[in-house]
C-alpha cells in the first residue's frame, strides 16, 4: 500500500520559532529540517513534505490576501496529497480556519490547523504533541475515505471544527474552545473520533474560491453608547455590511434614535448582522422586546455562529451575492457546519431558500 502523503504548511507563529541563544530572540526554524526537530515523526509510515509562506508572518498580520496564498498551496497540491497540516499563530487561527472552511467547497480531505503556546525548542513546549497528533489526524483514513474531511483546529488533545472555534485563553495550553458544537475527536491513548459530529466527505469535485469582500465594519454595543458613535460607525465610508455585537441572545437598546438609524441604513442597502457578545448561546431575534425591532427592520441573525465564522462567512457570501434577499438566505442557513438552525427562527424566514433570482445565479463567482 502506498504511504499516505501529508503536506505541512508553515505560516509563522510561536510553533515555528526557536531561540537564538546569542541574542535571546526567537527566529523561525527551517521546516526543511522538520524531521530533525521532531524525530518522532520518523515513526509514521508517511510521506511528509513542507511548504511555507515567504516570509513567515505573525498571525496578527493575517489577512484575506494571505488566505488566498494558503488556498493556492492547498489547491495546487490537493489531488496529490491525502491531508494538510497548517502551522499557524494562535491569535487569528480561528479566523483562518473559518475562512478556509468557506473558501473550499465539497471538501474530501483533512485540513488541520495547529500551533503552540510555547516555542518548539522549549522544554515544556506543547508544539511537538500538537504537530504529531495533527499529522496523524490529517493522514487518518477509513475504508478509503478521510475520517476528518473538513477544516479543523487541533490543540491540546482536542479537535474542533474550524468554523466553530474561538481562542479563549492566551495563558493556557488548551487555548481554543468550540462553545456551541461538540469536539470532533479527542486524543488520549487512542484518538477517538466522534463520527456523529463530523461532516461527511463529499463525492463532488472540490472547488476553491479565492475572492472575498472585506468591506465590513463592527459596532460593539455597550451600556451608554452615544448616538454620535453609532451614527459615525453606520456612516463608515465604503462599508457594505456591519456586524453588531449585541447583548445576550441578540438584544440591543430600544431607543427610537437607534432603531431609526439602523433602519435608514438598511433601507439604503447596508447588510446588518446580529452577533452575540456571549461566547456560548445563540442570537434569537424576537425572543425579547429588545431584539424584536431588529428582526422587523431586516437585521440578519447570526444564530450560534462565532464572531470569527460570522465575519469570514459574510466576506464569502457578500462576494458571491449582491441582493439583500440572497445574502440573508445564505447567512441564515448552514453552509458548512458553521451554525445550527433554530427551527422556530428558520420557519419564520420570509423567503424560500430553495429559490434564487436568475440574476443572482449569474452573479456567482
What would the pLDDT profile of 155-177 be if each residue is shown by its tens digit?
989 999 999 999 998 877 778 99
Instruction: Give me the mean pLDDT over the 181-195 stretch.
Output: 95
Instruction: Give me the mean pLDDT over the 74-102 stretch.
Output: 96
In which band, very low, low, confident or very high, does the pLDDT at 106 lie, cut at 50, 70 and 90? very high
From the candidates 11, 14, 125, 252, which is the catalytic residue? 14
Q: Find residue 283's DSSP bridge partners.
A: none
Q: Could you read off the pLDDT of 280-299 as tens digits, one per residue? A: 999 998 888 878 999 999 99
Q: Could you read off the pLDDT of 297-343 as tens digits, one per residue? A: 999 999 999 999 999 999 999 999 999 999 999 999 999 999 997 64
Residue with the bigger pLDDT between 289 and 18: it is 289
Of 28-42, 138-152, 217-231, where does mean pLDDT reach its minimum?
28-42
Q: What is the pTM of this model?
A: 0.89
Distances (CA, A) of 107 to 229, 258, 282, 312: 42, 42, 27, 18
pLDDT at 347 over 60: no
Q: What is the mean pLDDT of the chain?
A: 88
CA angle centred on 70, ends 64 and 74, rounded to 5°? 140
Instruction: List the alpha helices (DSSP H) in the chain.
Output: 34-37, 64-77, 93-103, 127-138, 227-234, 256-267, 289-297, 307-320, 324-331, 343-347, 358-363
> From start to end of the chain, where are the E strands?
4-10, 17-19, 26-28, 46-52, 83-87, 104-105, 111-114, 141-142, 145-146, 151-155, 158-161, 166-167, 176-177, 185-187, 191-193, 207-208, 216-220, 241-246, 271-276, 300-301
State yes or no: is 361 an active-site residue: no
pLDDT at 362 over 60: no
Name all domains of the chain by residue range, CATH numbers in brackets: 4-208 (3.40.50.1170), 216-363 (3.40.50.40)
What is the Cα–Cα distance from 27 to 51, expressed in whole angstroms? Answer: 17
Residue with the bigger pLDDT between 286 and 216: it is 216
Instruction: Give me the mean pLDDT over the 38-56 stretch.
Output: 86
Cβ-contact 15, 154 below 8 angstroms: no
What are the grid coordinates assigned to 293, written together? 425591532
Amino acid at each position: 500500500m502506498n504511504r499516505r502523503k501529508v503536506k505541512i504548511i508553515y505560516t509563522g507563529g510561536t510553533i515555528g520559532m526557536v531561540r537564538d541563544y546569542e541574542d535571546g530572540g526567537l527566529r523561525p526554524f527551517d521546516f526543511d529540517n522538520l524531521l530533525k526537530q521532531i524525530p518522532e515523526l520518523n515513526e509514521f509510515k508517511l510521506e511528509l513534505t513542507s511548504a511555507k509562506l515567504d516570509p513567515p508572518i505573525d498571525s496578527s498580520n493575517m489577512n484575506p490576501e494571505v488566505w488566498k496564498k494558503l488556498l493556492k498551496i492547498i489547491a495546487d497540491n490537493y489531488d496529490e496529497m491525502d491531508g494538510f497540516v497548517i502551522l499557524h499563530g494562535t491569535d487569528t487561527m480561528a479566523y483562518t480556519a473559518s475562512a478556509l472552511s468557506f473558501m473550499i467547497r465539497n471538501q474530501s480531505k483533512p485540513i488541520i490547523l495547529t500551533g503552540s503556546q510555547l516555542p518548539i525548542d522549549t522544554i515544556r513546549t506543547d508544539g511537538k504533541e500538537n504537530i504529531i497528533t495533527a499529522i496523524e489526524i490529517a493522514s487518518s483514513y477509513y475504508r478509503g475515505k478521510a475520517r476528518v474531511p473538513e477544516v479543523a483546529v487541533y490543540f491540546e488533545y482536542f479537535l474542533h471544527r474550524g468554523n466553530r472555534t474561538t481562542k479563549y485563553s492566551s495563558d493556557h495550553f488548551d487555548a481554543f474552545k468550540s462553545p456551541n458544537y461538540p469536539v470532533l475527536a479527542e486524543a488520549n491513548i487512542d484518538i477517538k473520533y466522534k463520527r456523529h459530529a463530523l461532516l461527511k466527505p463529499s463525492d463532488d469535485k472540490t472547488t476553491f474560491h479565492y475572492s472575498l469582500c472585506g468591506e465590513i465594519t463592527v459596532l460593539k454595543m455597550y451600556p451608554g453608547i452615544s448616538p454620535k458613535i453609532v451614527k459615525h460607525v453606520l456612516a463608515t465610508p465604503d462599508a457594505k455590511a456591519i456586524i453588531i455585537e449585541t447583548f445576550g441572545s441578540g438584544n440591543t437598546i430600544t431607543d427610537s434614535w437607534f432603531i431609526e438609524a439602523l433602519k435608514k441604513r438598511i433601507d439604503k442597502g447596508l447588510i446588518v448582522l446580529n452577533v452575540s457578545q456571549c461566547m456560548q448561546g445563540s442570537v434569537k431575534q424576537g425572543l425579547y422586546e429588545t431584539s424584536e425591532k431588529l428582526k422587523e427592520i431586516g437585521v440578519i441573525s447570526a444564530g450560534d455562529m462565532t464572531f470569527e465564522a460570522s465575519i469570514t462567512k459574510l466576506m464569502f457570501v457578500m462576494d458571491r451575492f449582491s441582493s439583500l434577499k440572497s445574502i440573508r438566505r445564505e447567512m441564515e442557513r448552514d453552509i458548512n457546519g458553521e451554525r445550527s438552525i433554530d427551527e422556530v427562527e428558520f420557519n419564520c424566514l420570509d423567503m424560500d431558500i430553495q429559490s434564487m433570482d436568475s440574476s443572482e445565479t449569474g452573479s456567482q463567482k
